[in-house]
Amino acid sequence: MAEVTVVLFAYLAELAGGQNEVRARGDTLDESLQDVCRTYPSLAAKLCAPGVGVVPSISVHLNGREVTLPAGLATPMREGDRLVFLPVVAGG
């Protein structure tokens, strides 16, 4: 099982106890996501969405490339990958 670095921005970092980077384990993006939500239950409601993986207001990037969801949930993870969860900013 791969160990990856998960980068959290804005309120997501606050929900992880103020940590901008945490570790997760998983063979796929979905497994890594679920590991983060288990480790930091306060993130679950703001990050994890049943059936689609990640709530629509979060942009997901793996090693600098945006991941299309929900198909991207099956993306294999490799040791040392960098997974970024970025809240989408909207407004006018």
> What is the residue-level pLDDT of the chain in tens, covering all 92 positions?
999 999 999 999 999 999 999 999 999 999 999 999 999 999 988 998 877 788 888 999 999 999 987 788 999 999 999 999 999 887 66
Task: Give me the pLDDT at residue 22, please.
Answer: 97
In a domain, 17, yes or no: yes
CATH code, 79: 3.10.20.30
Q: Is 61 among the domain residues?
A: yes
Q: Is residue 27 situated within a structural domain? A: yes
Say if CB 83 and CB 64 are below 8 A apart: no
**Global pTM?**
0.90
3-state secondary structure of 33: helix
- The tally of domains found in the chain comes to 1
Q: What's residue 71's pLDDT?
A: 81
Query: According to the model, what pLDDT value does residue 12 have?
Result: 95
Tell me, yes or no, whether 33 lies in a domain. Answer: yes
Structural domain including 19 reads 2-87
DSSP structure class, residue 38: H
What b/e readout covers 45-67, taking b as 16+ CB neighbours within 10 angstroms? ebbbbeeebbeeebbbebeeeeb
Residue 92 within any structural domain of the chain: no
For residue 15, is it within any domain?
Answer: yes
